Structures are given as structure tokens and as C-alpha cells.
Structure 1
Amino acid sequence: MPTEPGRYVYVVPLARVYWGRRSNRADRAVRLLRRFVARHTKADRVVIDNEVNEYIWSRGREKPPRRVKVVVTVKEVEEEGEKVRVALVRLAGGKVKPGVYEAGKEAGKG
């Protein structure tokens, strides 16, 4: 991972949540997504967009998708005199490939 904050595309495997009981799989999938993003971006706080949450819950509580492709934007924000790394998680649409993207470039161009 580069030292400077930026944009990343991840395909997060959620199949692990199927190991447990089926009554709260979507809940665990959201928590797994949050932990995955925090681990891979070294973020102190992870903000999941409502669109990602609705996609995970789209088939109900018992049958979340097996994987989800997300775009993660990492920013350093000053809060109460301290720098905090915040990761914003959005749903990736179209044909974006996993990897690191520069802040100014859009996927598919260049």
C-alpha cells in the first residue's frame, strides 16, 4: 500500500459469513467488510455508504452476496487536534479492476 492516502478497489470475499448460523449473516457481512477495509487501508474509522449496505442486505438477512466489489477512498482528517485516517467505502460499478487508482483519474481512462 502506498504511504499517501488514495483510492483503492477491492473485491471483498464475504463467503466466510456462511460458516455460521444463517439468522444474522448480513449483519456479520457488514462487520467483516468493515474489518477488511480497516486492515487493508490502516484506517482508524471506516464509513460504509448506504448503497453498499443495501446491496449486502438486498437478498435478505440470511443470504448476503458471496463477494462485493468496492471503491475505498482514504483521507486524513484532523479531529480534535489529531490526524485520523478515514476510509469511505462505496460500491464499485462498471468495469473497474482491483488495484490502486490515483485521486484525479477515473477508471477506464488513461
Structure 2
Amino acid sequence: MAEETKKPAKKKSKKQKEIPPEEKTYYIPLRKTQKKPRAKRAANAMSQVKTYLQKKAGLEEYHMDPSVNEKIWAKGAEKPPKGIKIKVTKTPDEITVTPLD
């Protein structure tokens, strides 16, 4: 009888394919804050950013980088920027919001 030589079966690696992070940029206009009381403009601008992310970007839960807050409050409560550019990065673990320079 002829002996059959069996090759050992190759192990398939079960490495998960890493999904590249999905990035989108948005420009959020903050012009409506100019009609609010002077002392509350920057606070209102932050709430506008949050509502924009919920309505337009469709985000429920996300992590906002503290530098977004610092950029809005940079000139004080009375003079927030007219608009802000942000980058939304979606990974399997979390969604982060960071400002663009």
C-alpha cells in the first residue's frame, strides 16, 4: 500500500480587518448667537454646536474635544466666532468631535 503524506492544515489567522476611521468635516454657522444677549453668546454657541451635531450629522452620543469649547470661548463670552469648522471621526469604539484650524 502506498502511504499518503498529509500536509498539515494551514491555520487561518482570525485577525479582524481594521476598519479605517470615517472622517467628515462640517462648518457650523454661529451667526444666530449675535442676536442673543451679550453675556450669553458663547454659551448659546455651544448649544448650537450640539444641536447641529444631533440634527444634521445625526449623532446621539459623541465625545467633544475640550479644544472645541476653548475655540468658542477664546475671545470671551461676548464675542464667539461667526462659525466653526469641525471634524467628526467615527471609529468602532467612539465618535470624536475636534476643531479644524
Q: If the length of structure 1 is used for normalisation, what is the TM-score?
A: 0.66
CA offsets per residue over residues 24-77 of structure 1, 9 Å max, x none? 110110110011012122111132211111010000001100011110123455
Segments ≥4 residues shifted beyond 6 Å: none
Count of aligned positions: 81
In structure 1, the gaps of 5 or more residues are 78-85, 94-110
Q: Name the residue aligned to 2:53.
A: 37
In structure 2, the gaps of 5 or more residues are 1-20
Larger Rg belongs to: 2
Q: Name the residue aligned to 2:4.
A: none
Once residues 46 and 31 of structure 1 are traced to their aligned partners in structure 2, the CA distance between those partners, rounded to angstroms, is 14
Report the secondary structure of 1:12's partner residue.
Answer: strand
Equivalent position amino acid for 1:91 in 2? P
Q: Name the residue aligned to 2:37.
A: 21
1:52 matched to 2:58: no
